[in-house]
Structure 1
Amino acid sequence: MRSTFKVLFYLKRNAPKKSGLIPVMCRITVNGKIAQFSCKLDVEEKSWNVKSGRVSGRSIVAQEANRMLDKIRVGINRAYQQISDRDNYVTAEKVRNAYLGLGMNHETLLAVFRQHNEDYEKQVGKLKSLRSYWKYCVVYKHLAEFVEKRYKVSDIALKELTPAFITDFELFLKVEKSHCNNTVWSYMMPFRKIIYMAVNNGLLQRDPFFAYSITKEETKRGFLTKEEITLLINGTFKKKSYELIRDLFIFCSYTGLSWTDMANLTEANLQTSFDGHLW
């Protein structure tokens, strides 16, 4: 059975530019499922014909805009036909991705990030640390959630990344994930490295991090009193895992070991001292 297929151009009225122009969006519908993307075209709201999905008038600006929309429509129709001829089923997202070039290997953000993490994991314990690998995995997870919530797709083309994408992701971490500034800073740095890698490998022409800035805030660490340490030792917790964390913290407090040194302790570090006990 042939799929129902429709292409619609509309204005994103809730996101006007500072110039007063409104971005034009393209919506692809296949069997009731929708995928959309920005046409990279801004127009005056008063010149937009909602019924035809085009710019009204015979001005040079209107003609150029409509020529661009026609080109997009032709490209989408071609992508739809190619997928219909090749695959057993067609989806709006597949048509959108094919038109934007997302079908090409390693030209999408999450695909590049995923490949990086797989390569990084192979170096853990040799050239890379496990904690650094975990951080990259956490950032990947946040990015995947952000792309799904904001753009309603499973991945996004590298060429679609803009400075606004970077700042929106930062806002997502702060608002949706409730992370403090320094945590956001620690997550944006691995993301920035992935983008630099894409630029250096020729996968991305322009760096969306250009002119972006975030700085780590200096914090003053407090300390616990002897009474507070005692309360912590005698305290009870709802989760057993919290008790383990408490015990590890107390261990570091009394031994002076850093968290990293404590985490790397093994049985090989235990020695029998003069008193016959293990230390």
Structure 2
Amino acid sequence: MSNQVTVYMYARAAKANKVGLHPIYVRITIQGKRTEFSTKKFITPAKWDPKTMKMKGTTEEARSINSYLESIKNKLTQTQIVLEYQGTELTLEKFMCAYLGKNMLRERTLIPIFQDHNNKIKALIGIDYSEGTHERYETSLKHTIEYIKFQYGTNDISISKIDHAFVTGYDFYLRTEKSCNNNTTVKYIKNFTKNKKILFKSSLTKSKISDNHFFYNYYKTNSCKLDQQFFMRLQHDFFLPNDKIIIDIDKRYTTPSVYIFANVEALEMTRHYLKKKDQIASFKANSYKIQNF
């Protein structure tokens, strides 16, 4: 990566779990500003190599963790390439938003919606709610902000990213990092999910078609310049030929990232379908004109 973006991976001793394993963190520094996020991988301190930023050894565990860390590096590199290609000013906030798939201009985010909800609760104190209820929601908001910072390395998150994994991760965070007991954790989760219908309705109004627009345009150029960024899956490559719609994929190496190729296929099939429909419509129109000439 260029001098503008510095990536540092390390085993964070301050966040060691009860059995002494250290979580592996990623630190991103851009123009003197930095943020960190957890990889969700834990390691024995003695097995971590700070120079190579990898786990020592050739065991199955080492290969698995190192491959996962390499995939994170590849995604970070890809994020920078996309931003530079688009001519976007490279700031930490914009970089992390792009890395997390968050559209800063159009997508709504969680914290302002949560804060708006709390403001409405406050306005109704003594009418429909008590001061204690408002205080609990404010505490829940505080924990949510801290969780997003801890887990995702940013100050907010798109509501389109709030799914089952987010909620279960938040539950785990409250129990471990905040030492909340079961009843307290359940209350905070209920406070958070109370307005999930509003959150999800907002997210459903946003189109997902534009998310892969850059990749789609690159795919159409028949170029191979960025293939290493787009088509690398751990240690195994597969390629998307321009002259085929069906892709043969070795299922042993298939990852959730393959959804992007399904989107490209869908766009291509839709384009061909609409083109064919247009040709049929034009043919019928011309036939009608000839018949009525």
> What TM-score comes out, normalization by structure 2 length?
0.49
Flag the 1:112–1:74 CA change in 2: closer, same or farther, 3 A.
farther
Change (3 A) 1:136 1:97: farther
Residues in 1 aligned to 2:144 and 2:199: alpha-carbon distance in whole angstroms = 22
Matches within 5 A, 1:102-181: 102-103=102-103, 105-106=107-108, 108=110, 110-114=111-115, 116-117=117-118, 120=120, 135=135, 138-139=138-139, 142-143=142-143, 146=146, 153-156=154-157, 158=162, 159=165, 161-167=169-175
Distance between the aligned counterparts of 1:130 and 1:87, measured in 2?
50
Q: CA separation in 1, counterparts of 2:46 and 2:87?
A: 41
- Alignment-derived partner of residue 18 in structure 1: 18
Question: In 1, Cα distance between the equivalents of 2:63 and 2:188?
Answer: 44
Contact (CA 8 Å) 2:47, 2:56: kept in 1 or not?
yes
Distance 1:128 1:90, change over 3 A: farther
Distance 1:22 1:147 in 2: 18
Residues 76-102 of structure 1: CA deviation (Å, up to 9, x unaligned) = 122222233335422223323332344
Rounded to whole Å, the distance in 2 between the matches of 1:148 and 1:202 is 18
Deviation at 1:9, TM superposition (A): 0.7
1:3–1:31 CA contact under 8 A, matched in 2: no
Q: Does 1:194 align with 2:192?
A: yes
Considering only CA atoms, is the larger Rg found in Structure 1 or Structure 2?
1
- Please name the residue that 1:30 is paired with: 30
Q: CA deviation at 1:11?
A: 0.7
Aligned residue type for 2:84: S
Alignment of 1:47-86 (within 5 A): 47-86=47-86
In structure 2, C-alpha distance between the alignment counterparts of 1:96 and 1:149, rounded to whole Å: 12
User: Could you tell me how far apart the structure 2 residues matched to 1:166 and 1:190 are?
Assistant: 9
Distance between the aligned counterparts of 1:147 and 1:17, measured in 2?
Answer: 17
| Partner of residue 233, structure 1 | none
Distance 1:124 1:88, change over 3 A: same
Question: Which blocks of at least 5 consecutive residues in structure 2 are unaligned?
Answer: 202-293
- Do 2:149 and 2:155's aligned partners in 1 also have CA atoms closer than 8 Å? no
Look up the SS of the partner of 1:89 in the other structure. Answer: coil
Instruction: State how far apart, in whole Å, the 1-side matches of 2:131 and 2:13 are.
Output: 44
2: CA distance between counterparts of 1:149 and 1:59?
Answer: 32
Q: 8 Å contact 1:144–1:154 — kept in the other structure? A: no
Task: Answer yes or no: is the 8 Å Cα contact 2:54–2:66 preserved in 1.
Answer: yes
Alignment deviations for residues 221-257 of structure 1 (CA, whole Å, 9 cap, x no partner): xxxxxxxxxxxxxxxxxxxxxxxxxxxxxxxxxxxxx
Q: Which structure has greater helix proportion?
A: 2
Corresponding residue of 2:226: none
2:116 & 2:38 partners in 1: Cα distance? 27
Structure 2 letter corresponding to 1:42: F
Higher RCO structure (Cα 8 Å, ≥6 apart): 2
May I ask how many residue pairs the two structures share in their alignment?
188
The residue type paired with residue 19 of structure 2 is: S
Structure-2 separation of matches of 1:95 and 1:130: 41
Distance in 1 of aligned mates of 2:177 and 2:82 = 34
Matched letter for residue 162 of structure 1: Y
| More divergent stretch after superposition (150-159 vs 60-69) | 150-159
How far apart are 1:24 and its partner, in Å?
A: 0.1
Q: Which amino acid aligns with 2:33?
A: K
Q: Distance in 1 between matches of 2:62 and 2:68?
A: 10
Return the offset for 1:72.
0.6
1:96 matched residue in structure 2: 96
For residues 177 and 16 of structure 2, the distance between their equivalents in structure 1, rounded to whole angstroms, comes to 20
User: 2 CA distance for matches of 1:12 and 1:65?
Assistant: 15
Name the SS of the counterpart of 1:162 in structure 2: helix
Distance in 1 separating the partners of 2:71 and 2:117: 35
Tell me if structure 1 keeps the 8 A contact 2:147–2:173. no
TM-score norm. by structure 1 comes to 0.51
Call closer, same or farther: CA 1:11–1:167 in 2, change over 3 Å: same
Percent identity, please: 19
- Amino acid in the other structure paired with 1:155: D
Q: Quick check: 1:144–1:155 contact (8 Å CA) kept in 2?
A: no
Contact 2:140 2:191 in 1 (8 A): no
CA distance in 2, matches of 1:145, 1:93: 16
Please tell me the root mean square deviation across aligned C-alpha atoms, in Å: 4.4
